[in-house]
């Protein structure tokens, strides 16, 4: 499948250039593991990290750089893709590239402050690992990644179910652009990015529904991060829609987060109430009991003693 076909629209010069940029980085042996924003900021505060001196500094650490640091071919592609910001001799990449599962993923540069930022980080790795564990152990003919972002989950599933139709949905056009580019970078023909608010823009049932929705209480209201008043409202909506759209034998894999209050998990309680009566068999476990601790200093989480990331799986009987 070409990039044009995967997006269902005319390929733009910028998309082609971004794809070629990714291919150039692959050919150069580029590798980078994206960490949490707090750790990223901490590392970049070191004096030696003030400016980028190589590909990882530019496309991984999002550090400023200047003329002569990168090959002309890379700079030309950045210009053509619209991802090079210049301010005199201080230049910055507007895109990062991270590695997972042997593939390269384009996503937003650090810091991800813009409302349409496309996030990639530790939660992406955890979610995709959970999805691949499911996909490797069951027959998948039709899958959907809700809030696909970079498309990492959809791509990981598509690699393990090459005969499946995998739909990657998001409301963020920039995310769909990156998902299409990343799909092409991975050389896959069975991932289809679609603009959709949850499952409203796609039809039919699914053998696998995977998702890592926004789950933070975000006063800034950034779409990629804000999960609602309590952080889990979007996750509950996904549970409701999955209960209606799972095929017989189908499974929901929901990777999300929750603030723990006085030893109680309010999202688990709310999810249990939602799932009661749906006929779905479900399991729930903490993947990491303590993440994003810096958020506990702000008013949004002054009620919580910790923030945990969790995986909820729900399965419909049949098949």
CATH number reported for the structural domain that contains residue 282 in this entry: 3.40.50.150
Instruction: Give domain status of residue 61, yes or no.
Output: yes
Q: Do 51 and 166 share a domain, yes or no?
A: no
- Cα separation, 190 vs 154, in Å, equals 9
Domain boundary among the residues 77, 108, 139 is at 108
Domain boundary among the residues 108, 140, 168 is at 108
Q: Mapping DSSP to helix (H, G, I), strand (E, B) and coil, where does residue 118 land?
A: coil
Residue 85 sits at φ, ψ, to 5 deg, of: -100, 125
* Number of folded domains that form the chain: 2
Please report, in tens digits, the pLDDT of each residue of the chain (319 residues total): 344 444 443 345 899 999 999 999 999 999 999 999 999 999 999 999 999 999 999 999 999 999 999 999 999 999 999 999 999 999 999 999 999 999 999 999 999 989 899 999 999 999 999 888 888 878 899 999 999 999 999 999 999 999 999 999 999 999 999 999 999 999 999 999 999 999 999 999 999 999 998 877 777 777 666 667 777 899 999 999 999 999 999 999 999 999 999 999 999 999 999 999 899 999 999 999 999 889 999 999 999 999 999 999 999 998 6
What is the pLDDT at residue 214?
A: 80
- CB burial of 279-307 (b: ≥16 within 10 Å; e: otherwise) equals ebebebeebeeebbeebbeeebbeebebb
Q: Do 93 and 133 share a domain, yes or no?
A: no
The two three-digit tokens of residue 197, written as one number? 């608010």
Q: Do 209 and 80 share a domain, yes or no?
A: no
What is the pLDDT at residue 10?
A: 39
What is the pLDDT at residue 227?
A: 66
Domain span holding position 53: 3-108
Q: Do 157 and 86 share a domain, yes or no?
A: no
- Which residues, 6+ apart, have CB-to-CB distance to 182 below 8 Å? 22, 103, 104, 105, 106, 150, 151, 152, 155
Q: Do 278 and 165 share a domain, yes or no?
A: yes
């Amino acid at each position: 499948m070409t990039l044009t076909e995967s997006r269902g629209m005319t390929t733009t010069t910028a998309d082609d250039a971004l794809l070629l940029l990714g291919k150039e980085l692959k050919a150069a042996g580029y590798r980078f593991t994206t960490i949490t924003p707090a750790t990223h900021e901490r590392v970049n505060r070191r004096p030696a990290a003030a400016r980028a001196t190589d590909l990882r500094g530019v496309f991984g650490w999002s550090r400023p750089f200047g003329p002569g640091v990168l090959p002309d071919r890379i700079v030309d592609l950045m210009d053509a893709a619209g991802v090079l910001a210049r301010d005199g001799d201080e230049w910055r990449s507007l895109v990062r590239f991270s590695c997972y599962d042997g593939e390269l993923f384009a996503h937003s540069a650090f810091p991800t402050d813009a409302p349409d930022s496309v996030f990639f980080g530790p939660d992406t790795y955890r979610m995709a690992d959970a999805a691949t564990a499911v996909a490797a152990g069951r027959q998948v003919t039709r899958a959907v990644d809700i809030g696909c972002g970079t498309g990492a989950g959809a791509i990981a599933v598509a690699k393990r179910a090459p005969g499946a139709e995998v739909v990657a949905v998001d409301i963020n056009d920039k995310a769909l652009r990156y998902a299409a580019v990343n799909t092409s970078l991975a050389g896959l023909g069975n991932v289809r990015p679609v603009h959709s608010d949850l499952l409203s823009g796609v039809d039919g049932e699914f053998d696998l529904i995977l998702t890592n929705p926004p789950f933070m209480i975000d006063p800034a209201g950034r779409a990629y991060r804000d999960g609602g008043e309590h952080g889990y409202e979007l996750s509950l909506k996904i549970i409701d829609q999955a209960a209606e759209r799972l095929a017989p034998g189908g499974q929901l894999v929901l990777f999300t987060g929750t603030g723990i209050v006085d030893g109680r998990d309010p999202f688990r309680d709310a999810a249990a109430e939602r799932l009661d009566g749906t006929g779905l068999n479900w399991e729930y476990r903490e993947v990491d009991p303590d993440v994003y601790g810096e958020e506990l200093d702000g008013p949004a989480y002054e009620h919580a003693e910790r923030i945990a990331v969790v995986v909820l799986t729900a399965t419909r009987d049949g098949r």
